[in-house]
Structure 1
Amino acid sequence: MDKVVASAEQAVADIRDGASLAVGGFGLCGIPSVLVDALHAQGATDLSVVSNNCGVDGVGLGVLLGAGRISRVTASYVGENKEFARQYLAGELEVELTPQGTLAEKLRAGGAGIAAFFTPTGVGTQIAEGGLPWRYDSTGGIAKASPAKEVREFTVHGQTREFVLEESIVTDFALVRAAVGDRHGNLVFHESARNFNPVVAMAGRITIAEVERLVEPGEIDPDDVQLPGVYVRRVVALTPEQAADKRIEKRTVRAATEPVPNQEA
């Protein structure tokens, strides 16, 4: 039951070329940066990545992207990463854009053993009708486009609507970051870091968690567990320095000379 491994390098050692990978985090919040850096050093390439976004230039998944290790991305947001845009528009990267809530549910459904589900999100758009550019060619033409999906009518609460069929996602590996974890793999996430991490962990056949604070089994109140250890195969305890290394995607502050607004009514 003790799932703790000695290092991040050991934890990702068996991720092979061509593997599919779900990665937690939202922007730079809650990203498993230590595991991503270890995977970069390990050298695996031709990776298919599922994540809300692909990091930023040089940080998070942006490290793997910049090294040319990612061949396909399924994501809901691709901003803040110039290299991502360059690779996509140059035909070097296949990208499947997915509505954010749909992506989260596809991951959760995969972890729950649900093959597919119907959702109204995307009906009447290229999400359902097909034709979204997945990959461009070197001249800017569409080399590969999304296929059309099944659309059916259902009556819900007395209202008949169209719903599109979305297939669930299961990946070879999943990488997540938690604030607290025990040796059995039970995890607790800190505030907004509890974004995509739980559903990403559910979707991986082999889930690896880096934890900022490792505790013994029983120290986490069962009511506080946000992801049961049954979903986690390996746990990596971060050093205090690694745990404190949290980037800010955009820092916005008021100029020092700017007067403080009057807060009086």
Structure 2
Amino acid sequence: MHVALVQRASDIDSAANRDSITKQLSELAPEDGLDLVVLPEAAMHDFGAPDHDLAAVAEPLDGPFVDLISAEARRLGATIVAGMFERTDGLPFNTLVVIGPDGELRRTYRKIHLYDSFGYKESDRMRAGDVEPVVLDVAGRAVGLMTCYDLRFPELARDLVDAGAELLVVPAAWVAGDRKLDHWRTLLAARAIENTVHVVAAGQGGDRYTGHSLVADPWGSIVEEADNGSAIIRATLAAADLAQARDVNPSLTNRRIRHSS
């Protein structure tokens, strides 16, 4: 599987974001043979200040942001995962949309764990999605979806793997701060190691967020990583690498404690 992670810093101007996303994605071409392109959480519109009304800027699943991502997915012949704020009758969802190579909306994932931590309360501005792990097929590989703060809950990653996921996709807007980069890199590597899966994580960059979008292999080694600026990183994820890791390290099959849902 050929993947590209698009690191960017979103604005609170949705139209400006669409323009900058179009410009950044123009660096990718159909000839690149990409299977999967991942944009960060809140790619549609930045969270803004705590009093910024996200319900007022949230969009429906057939709005201009999804239209743009659909057009780019068709152009590239790739599946694109991107984060948006999805309009509801009340507080919006923090949603990942998955657009197939045909430009059609394939799945959504509504963030389960809202970021009520480190002095912030996302639940004042968003509603949580149902506890329903989302796994889908992309180019013959089973892909599980997580968003940012979900990363701190290993049980979600394990549920995704139990549902067949061989690759975890983690769009994020990981707020910068003391020890936050260490947490980001360590938790991504841990999810890869304990589940023997590839992990691809596309983060927001810039002054407010940690950046460091990265790809980890099933051994937990970071094989590609950005810094904090605007960037596109690429990687090839081989199914054989995952099979070898699970053969040498069969920790999933050696489990003796399993939770029941």
Instruction: Report if TM-score (shorter chain) is over 0.5.
Output: no
TM-score between both structures, scaled by the size of structure 2: 0.32
TM-score between both structures, scaled by the size of structure 1: 0.32
- Larger Rg, first or second structure (1 or 2): 1
